[in-house]
Structure 1
């Protein structure tokens, strides 16, 4: 399992999942239902730890999956997110390091 896409919008993550499935890449959404937790259940504000994460089952296809998603989404990321200069992965605004390659957030 390897994460290939993180987003605050579960609809966008679902669309990304459909793109990969239509290409025959086995994948699943981690934290699919946790986005609604937090404030209403625990009294905390929403954190990036609850964001839906699209993961591919076969790590050997992760690069292919990333390329497919970049074709559809370009370099655009959700508001408040940043794109890693090293690996081009989307990261929540609160992350100082890329979740994928640990590169530092650009200034």
Structure 2
């Protein structure tokens, strides 16, 4: 098990998992529900909680998986996130339409 991607937004982690599944790389999400417990519930600060992270099962495919994710999310970080005019949801910069309501990305 090798972690290849982490993000506080579990939808982005889920999307990364689907990219790996499409390439035939078996993976799973670790710490998937940690953030939903609530930081104050156990007296921890939010920074002490673990972000959801995507791990590949076959360590030999970790670099391949990381490269696939860099291809996709590298361009997303360059473009920055955008807010949907229709539903006000935040979307990764690489998305051409809103993940929630499918409205087109503003020009």
**Bigger Cα Rg:** 2
Which one is further off, 48-57 or 59-68?
48-57
Where relative contact order (Cα < 8 A, 6+ residues apart) is larger, the structure is 1
Name the CA shift for 1:48/1:8 in 2 (closer, same or farther; >3 Å).
farther
Deviation at 1:48, TM superposition (A): 5.5
1:11 is matched with which residue?
Answer: 11
1:28-43 pair list within 5 angstroms: 28-43=28-43
2:26 — aligned with what? Answer: 26
* Root-mean-square deviation over aligned CA pairs: 2.2
2: CA distance, partners of 1:2 / 1:39: 26
Matched, 1:57 2:57: yes
Q: Deviations over 1:19-72 (max 9, x none)?
A: 001110000000001111242521322125420010000000000001100111
Q: What stretches of structure 2 of length at least 5 have no aligned partner?
A: 82-107
Considering fraction of residues, name the structure with more helix. 2
User: Bigger CA drift: 45-54 or 10-19?
Assistant: 45-54
What is residue 94 of structure 1 aligned with on the other side? none
